[in-house]
Amino acid sequence: MSFVNEATWDRVLRVVLGMVLLYLGWSGTVSGGLGTVLKFLGFVPILTGLIGWCPVYSVLKIRTNQP
């Protein structure tokens, strides 16, 4: 896949981070407005980790994997 710009370790880290953010938001550990933000923000790293492409990396011309 030519559009993948994340290494395997980066992708795993993003999925784990996303799950932690979702857990904090949905479990009630963090409540109020910040909890709501975490509920939505947690999907971003999960999505980018599963796809393997980060739009911020593309704009900044960063790659964590070998081309």
- pLDDT, residue 1, reads 54
- pLDDT, residue 3, reads 87
- pLDDT, residue 26, reads 95
d(CA 62, CA 47): 18
The tens digit of pLDDT for each residue in 1-42 reads 578 999 999 999 999 999 999 999 999 999 999 999 999 999
- pLDDT, residue 66, reads 86
Q: Is the pTM of this model over 0.85?
A: yes
Helices and strands (H, E) in the chain, number of each type = 4, 0
Q: Give the residue extent of every domain in the chain.
A: 8-59
**Contact (Cβ atoms closer than 8 angstroms) between residue 50 and residue 15:** yes
